[in-house]
Structure 1
Amino acid sequence: MWGVGALAFVAVLTFLLGFVGARKANTTPDFLVARRAVSTTRNAAAISGEYLSAASFLSVAGLILKDGVDALWYPIGFTAGYLALMLFVAAPLRRSGAYTLPDFAEARLGSTRLRHWCTFFVVCIGVLYLVPQLQSAGLTLTTATRLPTWVGTAVVSAVVVVNVLGGGMRAITLVQAFQYWAKLLAIAVPTFVLFAVFLGRPDAGEQAQASDRPPVLTEAKTITLPESVRLQVTEPITLTVHGVVRGEQVDARVYWAPGSYEVGAGTELDFTAGSTVPVVEGSPTRSVNWLTPQTGGFNELFQTYSLIFATFLGTMGLPHVLVRFYTNPDGRAARGTALHVLSLLGLFYLFPTVLGVLSRLFLPELLVTGKTDTAVLMLPEAMLPGMAGQILGAVVAAGAFAAFLSTSSGLLVSVAGVVSTDILRGRVREFRWATVLTGAVAVSLALVLPRSDASMTVAMSFALAASTFCPLLVLGIWWRGLTWVGAVSGMVTGGGLVMVAMVGSVLSSYRGSEPHALLQQPALVTVPVAFLVMVVVSKATSRLLPEDVSRVLLRMHAPDRLGFMRDRDVARFGTDEERARAASGGGRHRRLTLRPRSRTSEQQGDEK
């Protein structure tokens, strides 16, 4: 009951804030970049609101519960990526005057073919990131209310689509800024309360100590496995099994010696109090290993460094994050926004870390099913049975629901903006059609595709962004030698390798085997390869360098007060007043255009 009320409150409040923000949205710049008038502090809160997704709110704590200290690289990487973005990308990207990432690519390199490839990867990254948000929304609603999973997916999709239809970026800016503070409150208050409860327990010191034993169930538990898993047993246990183990039907009390056990979906396991917990294969089986970094050998070390590459560099390539920097008034404000985001994210990630540690002590049964994403939702009632736990659980569920709404809104705006401007005619009507189409595709995939850990899917989205847009932005902003052929070659190579890894990982999981580390986290290979291909191919096609490269780079790097910055597509999207000012060279901007350069017939033939 409490959970339903909390989720309904968040949904209604989100809709009302979107309605308020959409009242003055009536032009394409309103829908795409909120008329470039968002202040530094509000934009930082809005970016933090959309960036703190299901992976942040639910999966970070779940990964710490399951993998221990090695999982801390997720919140570190999610936050530190903004340092690289602030130093290398934020201000020049805003000064380019572009509206979308494909628009920036064409402005820098003068190629419509490159723009089409950028559109393709924006859609891929957006949908890949959006699907786990919708699936996690269904998981949250099911955990809090026992309603079917598809209901949560449908509710989030409906609220997000309606808000984006009403006012695009202008409508969701207010929503996302509010939702950051709502999420922070929803995770901070329960964390403080539950940690105080833990410290007040007489056995708190004993529970907190490291041990050579696996986690132990403090009371009898009956666990039903929602899907087939391979469990690793390190200490002998006796339990009652009703279901399939190692391909055979079992309905009896059994003895499990140390080893690996394949347990079928729907199997019921009855544990007595004091039983050690078998753990899904691949996770630390003993508490001492859980507290010790890098105990899995070379594969685990490779995955860690690959995750660092993906999260540190992928942030500067996420379309739904970058599009928000177009909403700042100038480059200085964009850099200040990135600095503010660093502090807001650093504050937030303190709390999932604490909840993950507490979950290891009070929810060890989740290690049997592997469904650790639900830890944050279940922990309040596990530690505080009764109404107090239910109220705290409702608060957490409301925060998680806000995470899905804000992140899904940002993703939908970024993808719809690119589809409307690059595939359709770019008017407000086309933006709304693109919103409906993108939302329908994402919902369909979320309902059809099997659900995995949101953090894993999101990490793959980061790897794809790091292998495509990160090289394009870094080289496009800081290296005058980049050509459109080199950019396309690098993006296709890096992005193609990541997609091959994703397919290989899915096929491995269907065969029941553990995917290779390179398939699970490919960024350590794909990012350097993408950079290398861009540089080598650009040097080989140096005759295709844009003639206006010096002028474009000057605009991106010149201080704001010199007045070189101007909107690239005023003629297409601006109001009559803005078009007149641009035509006369009036206002604070100098009359420097970013039209694609005139190419020779030979170069035009190369591009075709």
Structure 2
Amino acid sequence: MDFNYWATGSIALISVATFSLGFRSSRQANTTQDFLVARRTVRSRRNAAAVSGEYLSAASFLGVAGLILKDGTDALWYPIGFTAGYLALMLFVAAPLRRSGAYTLPDFCEFRLRSAGLRRLAAIFVIFIGMLYMVPQLQGAGLTLQHIIPGVPTQLGAALVAVLVTVNVVSGGMRAITLVQAFQYWVKLFAIAAPAFVLCAVFIGDGGARGLGATGLSEPLPPRFAHGATISVETPVVLSVEAPVRLIAEGTVDGMPAAGETYWSPGTHQVAAGTRLTFAAGDPVPVVRGAVGDNADWLSPASDTDDLLTTYSLIFALFLGTMGLPHVLVRFYTNPDGQAARRTTLHVMLLLGLFYLFPTVMGALSRIYLPELLVTGQTDRAMLQLPMAVVDNVAGEILGAVIAAGAFAAFLSTSSGLLVSVAGVLSTDVFKSRVRDFRLATALAGVLPLVAALLLRPADLSLSVGMSFALAASTFCPVLVLGIWWRKITWVGAAAGMLTGGTLVLTALALTTVSGYTGGWAPWFVQQPGLVTVPLAFLAVIVMSKATQRHIPPETKHIRMRMHAPDRLGLIRDRASGLGGGGAARHALGRHRR
């Protein structure tokens, strides 16, 4: 692909706009409270746009379309789960969490259960979830920049995003990024909606799939190449072949050198990195192992037991994981009161529901126009390559530039929120909660995920983020739900639940990573552990709390009344000096230090 001047210019424009808006807002940030919770003055609609802008990450903007391309109907659970999780958040968590007056998730844990040890454990998991979630954002940025500037290493895009968001957060923390994230939501919505409408119009004008000579999406056949294609395989893949195909292969296939015409029978075939595969127009498309090879099956939900359990586990993790994501919850601390937090959540569901209509459409179009991505397994590139595949002229370049700008807005907004949540915990639980401590924590929190993004092999973006949701659902979700609604929870039970769920998910993550390098042997409950880890975490909290009732805080009735009393009673107050001791005293309102 040639250098795309339009896309390069659009990314530069988004970067400049992000920096300018952040710099403008940072001039009003001068206290620790400004940096952590934007002085708790963000109103519902702006906060909803900011939450949506932060939440729509690389997994949403690039990953969902790629998963629709590869997995079809089953992948729809990603956008459904991403959105539906806010329903549970609105019903059970948003308002009581805001009324607690906490600044961070560890702060809430200490406020509710009066344990400095639990606070430290929560801080560790906040940092780990933030780092795990930020890595795919940086990798997605590298993928996008490499697509528009051929030959540029992926490390450059990751470094660009890391530096830009670190500078913005260092300048003004939460106060600086609130306006930026709200702006970036509308950028992302336009950047995906406008190309989707144009590309659908072109598709219909060309006569649909039959007019292009492609296999219809409802036909019981594998997708076919509408035009001849030469594909370079960059990483080793195992391909599933539904129908026999003759092709030209140059490289290593099934462990043997190949240099000419090759016949593939139905089954699986191993293709080494560096191999070139040439297909003729009308050839059936081999798909990377694990993808859906038949278009009729692509439109039908999974019926295999393992696939069904994987789907249920994914739903569990996404629906409950939203309630435990630190960078999402920290935004609700910025609302003036609990009622505003609930309104924010309702608006977020509307904004997310509108956005997720379009990645689904783009994924379906990619199945017709970009079947070669099913061969390489690089389906996260679908959104970036689709415009030129449909409109191979300057108009396609402009549409691609709009999508690239939206993708970079996704990386910047989500990375900013993650950086604020991790830096807030580091500054209040590791350092002394001064403004300069927040800035030092931001620098540290920006460097570590960048190093990980450069060292780790990129996986499907949505799958990487899915593991972050599973970790959040298995650690913070039980503590928040039971801490808000069950009076008998103790800090011992909460710690047991977090350790049980967190250890199991991290073990699954390690096994999944090893499996990816050694043949993909991991079973469903390792790749998507939420269905197992979340119930076990809840069970651990309940059992250990029942066994340690002497550790119930004596102020539990007053704490619960403060969280559940209507806002008009005026019981909301920010965490004060001495309330719960430990880290709470370090950020007492009115005692901020520069």
- Scaled to the shorter chain, the TM-score interval is over 0.9
The Cα of 1:259 is off from its aligned counterpart by 1.4
- 2:509 aligns to what? 502
CA distance in 2, matches of 1:457, 1:467: 16
The Cα of 1:272 is off from its aligned counterpart by 1.0
Please list, as runs of the form range in 1=range in 2, the aligned pairs for 1:564-575 lying within 5 A after superposition.
564-569=571-576, 572-573=586-587
* Contact 2:322/2:472, CA 8 A, preserved across alignment: yes
Matched, 1:385 2:385: no
The Cα of 1:202 is off from its aligned counterpart by 2.5
CA distance in 1, matches of 2:207, 2:308: 38
The Cα of 1:573 is off from its aligned counterpart by 3.4
Q: Which one of the candidate residues 561, 564, 577 is aligned to 1:554?
A: 561
- 1:231 aligns to what? 239
- 2:359 aligns to what? 352
Q: Which one of the candidate residues 203, 208, 215 is aligned to 2:223?
A: 215
Matched, 1:526 2:533: yes
The Cα of 1:246 is off from its aligned counterpart by 1.3
* Contact 1:98/1:569, CA 8 A, preserved across alignment: no
CA distance in 2, matches of 1:544, 1:387: 68
Matched, 1:276 2:284: yes
Matched, 1:79 2:79: no
- 1:246 aligns to what? 254
Structure 1 stretches (4+) deviating beyond 2 angstroms? 202-209, 569-579
Where structure 2 has 5 or more consecutive residues not aligned to the other structure, the ranges are 578-584
CA distance in 2, matches of 1:426, 1:419: 9
Letter in 2 for 1:235: A
- 1:161 aligns to what? 166
CA distance in 1, matches of 2:205, 2:592: 63
The Cα of 1:13 is off from its aligned counterpart by 0.5
CA distance in 2, matches of 1:86, 1:462: 17
Matched, 1:322 2:329: yes
Matched, 1:421 2:428: yes
Render the CA deviation track for 1:22-73: whole Å, top value 9, x for unaligned: 0110100000000000000000000000000000000100000000000000
CA distance in 2, matches of 1:247, 1:455: 31
Give the number of equivalent residue pairs. 578
Render the CA deviation track for 1:113-167: whole Å, top value 9, x for unaligned: 0001000100110000000000000001111222211110011011100000000
- 1:202 aligns to what? 207
Please list, as runs of the form range in 1=range in 2, the aligned pairs for 1:422-501 lying within 5 A after superposition.
422-501=429-508
Q: SS state of the match for residue 2, structure 1?
A: helix
- 2:581 aligns to what? none
The Cα of 1:480 is off from its aligned counterpart by 0.5
- 1:116 aligns to what? 120
Letter in 2 for 1:460: M
- 2:188 aligns to what? 183
Please list, as runs of the form range in 1=range in 2, the aligned pairs for 1:257-336 lying within 5 A after superposition.
257-295=265-303, 297-336=304-343
CA RMSD of aligned residues (A): 1.3
Aligned-residue identity in percent = 61
Letter in 2 for 1:216: R
CA distance in 1, matches of 2:227, 2:261: 18
CA distance in 1, matches of 2:26, 2:208: 53
Q: SS state of the match for residue 537, structure 1?
A: helix
Render the CA deviation track for 1:422-460: whole Å, top value 9, x for unaligned: 011111101000000111101100000111011011000
Letter in 2 for 1:337: T
CA distance in 2, matches of 1:273, 1:310: 41
CA distance in 2, matches of 1:480, 1:535: 11
The Cα of 1:569 is off from its aligned counterpart by 3.6
Which of 246-255 and 92-101 deviates more?
Answer: 246-255
Please list, as runs of the form range in 1=range in 2, the aligned pairs for 1:99-178 lying within 5 A after superposition.
99-146=103-150, 147-178=152-183
* Contact 2:428/2:587, CA 8 A, preserved across alignment: no
CA distance in 2, matches of 1:555, 1:257: 68
- 2:24 aligns to what? 20
Render the CA deviation track for 1:531-576: whole Å, top value 9, x for unaligned: 0110000000001110000000010000111111100046643564
Compute the TM-score of the two structures, normalised by the length of structure 1: 0.94
Letter in 2 for 1:529: L
Q: SS state of the match for residue 240, structure 2?
A: strand
Render the CA deviation track for 1:477-527: whole Å, top value 9, x for unaligned: 000000000000010001100011111111112211332101110000100
Q: SS state of the match for residue 232, structure 1?
A: strand
Q: Which one of the candidate residues 505, 511, 515 is aligned to 2:518?
A: 511
* Contact 2:141/2:158, CA 8 A, preserved across alignment: yes
